[in-house]
Structure 1
Amino acid sequence: MATIKDVAKEAGVSVATVSRVVNKSPKASKAAIESVNAAMTKLGYRPNANARALVSKSTNTIGVVVADVSDPFFGSLIKAVDGIARANNKHLLIGNGYHDAQTEKEAIELLINNRCESLVIHSKGLSDEELVQFANEVKGLVIINRHIPEIAERCISLDNELGSLLATEYLIENGHQHIAYINSSQDIDDSHQRHFGYVTALKKHNLSINDMLFSAAEPTDEGGAVAMQTLLNKDINFTAAVCYNDYMAAGALSTLEEHNIAVPNKISLMGFDNGLIAKYLHPKLSTMDYPIQAMAEQAAELSLALAKENNTTIKGTIFKASLIKRDSVAKTN
């Protein structure tokens, strides 16, 4: 593999001149640029990214940590950040955290060690204190889908409680009084907040809270199927169910179909997220729209502005989910 010394020898210039050409220094002459570029092409030399970063003080990258890149929800998040990155001539470095504290910490530290000045972090495993510490270390760090009061101005989050409350109230408005809740079994703030929103809606409308109408499983279609089967096994009356996300709703729907229980004629279903799957289910799924694209774009723009220490009107924001009415909810008899 060719070295910078090999390039200097081939071009007939000093190592310092090669460095100036590589880092696009205005001090490099036109002749030096031509000879060095020709030598690099001939030798197949690729400048070391870390070496260039030491000169420019930046790697021109935005670091992103998500739970799992294979999840379409996080794919939408990453794509939105990438759009902002490209508009600002930046590239992405991506890490998976899997909602595990140690894995999230390692992913963040790897991005910091790779000189990412801007970081968009989706973390559910690390404590508030640990994330505040990272924020103090990296001025361009922004937290997405989580609200931490100490660094609220650097948090882009969703009001999960309100979203779940609105989903439950939509069922109540359609006459449903016996409403089940299918939750994620993950011990994260999203699942706690959405369950609390469901309970708050029932209390607000003076409906009884029955723990028998609660079921939890992994936040996947398989988990939703298992959770719905658990509810049916209890042999308790309910006419509707609010689901933690659209995938759990899809799984719940499949279980109901297996038991010849029609949706929405017998049981109405509400999802959450408004992912791509929601409008292709049969019946099409009523759900809460999670504005992840807008949230991720704002997080990326805020991260870049903070890294540059620019005055910006972009601030930490708590977004709201909006109701999407489709075909999986009907008025109860």
Structure 2
Amino acid sequence: MSTIHDVAELAKVSVATVSRVLNNHPSVSTKARLAVQEAIAQLNYQPNANAQALAVQNTDTIGVVVTDVTDAFFAILVKAVDKVAEKHNKTILIGIGYHHAEKEREAINTLLRKRCSCLVVHSKALSDKELSDYLDNVKGMVIINRVIKGYENRCVSLDNQKGTYIATEMLIRHGHKKIAYIGSNHAIFDEIERRSGYLEALKAHHYPIVEHAITHNSPDFEGGEQAMIDLLSYNKDLTAVVAYNDSMAAGAISVLNENNIKVPSHFSIIGFDDMPIARYLIPKLTTIRYPIDLMATYAANLALSLVEPKIETPPVIQFNPTLVRRFSVESIN
């Protein structure tokens, strides 16, 4: 299926020019308009009707696409967007993607059909090219937790690699030499970045990668339990682990307790995200804070500013992970 990028390439114009032609903008020259129209005919390009409708219709609804509303991380994201919407007398509609491209596409298109004027989209399965097409056509769309090349000013993200680097380095500074990593089995960039941060910290401190010290499972309590069981099955001298998120860390802690391995006196663990559960585990979980509430607030304000001139565009902010010290890490003897 042809895309707006294909039309632009064939017509030898920019994607923005194609978009202006599709929306019958008067600023396009006759030559460019004819070139685009010929390319559309040649490629049998079918514009996204939802996006075109949104380009000329403004409503008081903000659309939010998340992976799973039952996950505390996404619940916080939605709540932050809702607070911004309420401040501007708007409402929100929610779409769920479940880490599947078809579901994410369906969620975005459904929200567009409902004439949402703005979209805050958390998409991990759709390709950069498809998201670029949406961004070209949907003026008020912002991507969160991902960066699309060429659209950096409409993407809100965090340096995941830095987060696990900080976590691993903390364990190293506490004397741990046999450090494992529990990762997500979802094929998403977050996992690649977090695993990379762990490996980079080991490399920077000249630590060898321990065989069978990296394992992957579902990014939830059950996945953390199974991942910790696998690590203990393969290794007898591990003293610490960096977990992909707090849920996996919680599952890992339960397995350690069941095996009479006390945290942190016998084993240290660091999570990621700083979800509410981190404060209520025993011991309270040391973790990397992912400021999703601040990021979602920024993303919602940015989306609104793109379609409503009276709303000031927020200044560009670099969001960074920070270490939250609690009681699940202890120096090794």
Same fold (TM over 0.5): yes
**Where does residue 274 of structure 1 map in the other structure?**
274
**Where does residue 79 of structure 2 map in the other structure?**
79
**Where does residue 305 of structure 1 map in the other structure?**
305
**Where does residue 128 of structure 1 map in the other structure?**
128
Helix, strand or coil at the partner of 2:272: coil
CA distance in 1, matches of 2:206, 2:329: 21
- Distance change in 2, residues 1:77/1:99 (3 Å): same
Report 1:216-255 matches (<5 A).
Answer: 216-255=216-255
- Kindly indicate whether the alpha-carbon contact (under 8 Å) linking 1:155 and 1:316 is maintained by their aligned counterparts in 2: no
Q: What CA RMSD, in Å, does the superposition of the two structures yield over aligned residues?
A: 1.6
Shift of 1:149: 2.1
CA distance in 2, matches of 1:112, 1:82: 18
> TM-score when scaled to structure 2?
0.81
Q: What is the one-letter code of the residue matched to 1:220? A: D
**Where does residue 177 of structure 2 map in the other structure?**
177
- Per-residue deviation, residues 223-249 of structure 1 (Å, max 9, x unmatched): 000000000111342110000000000
Shift of 1:312: 4.2
Helix, strand or coil at the partner of 1:158: coil
CA distance in 1, matches of 2:177, 2:187: 28
CA distance in 2, matches of 1:267, 1:195: 20
Shift of 1:307: 1.4
- Kindly indicate whether the alpha-carbon contact (under 8 Å) linking 2:304 and 2:311 is maintained by their aligned counterparts in 1: no
Shift of 1:72: 1.0
Shift of 1:311: 7.9
Helix, strand or coil at the partner of 1:216: strand
Helix, strand or coil at the partner of 1:284: coil
CA distance in 2, matches of 1:155, 1:310: 21
**Where does residue 168 of structure 1 map in the other structure?**
168
CA distance in 2, matches of 1:202, 1:146: 25
- Distance change in 2, residues 1:271/1:169 (3 Å): same
Q: Does 1:259 align with 2:250?
A: no
Shift of 1:114: 1.2
Shift of 1:116: 0.9
Report 1:49-198 matches (<5 A).
Answer: 57-198=57-198
> TM-score when scaled to structure 1?
0.81
- Kindly indicate whether the alpha-carbon contact (under 8 Å) linking 1:95 and 1:107 is maintained by their aligned counterparts in 2: yes
Helix, strand or coil at the partner of 1:129: helix
**Structure 2 residues without counterparts, runs of 5 or longer:** 1-52
CA distance in 1, matches of 2:188, 2:237: 29
Q: What is the one-letter code of the residue matched to 1:268? A: S
Shift of 1:117: 1.5
CA distance in 2, matches of 1:249, 1:327: 13
Identity %: 50
Report the count of equivalent residues: 280
Shift of 1:315: 5.2
**Structure 1 residues without counterparts, runs of 5 or longer:** 1-52
CA distance in 1, matches of 2:149, 2:174: 37
Q: What is the one-letter code of the residue matched to 1:181? A: Y
Helix, strand or coil at the partner of 1:165: helix
Shift of 1:212: 1.1
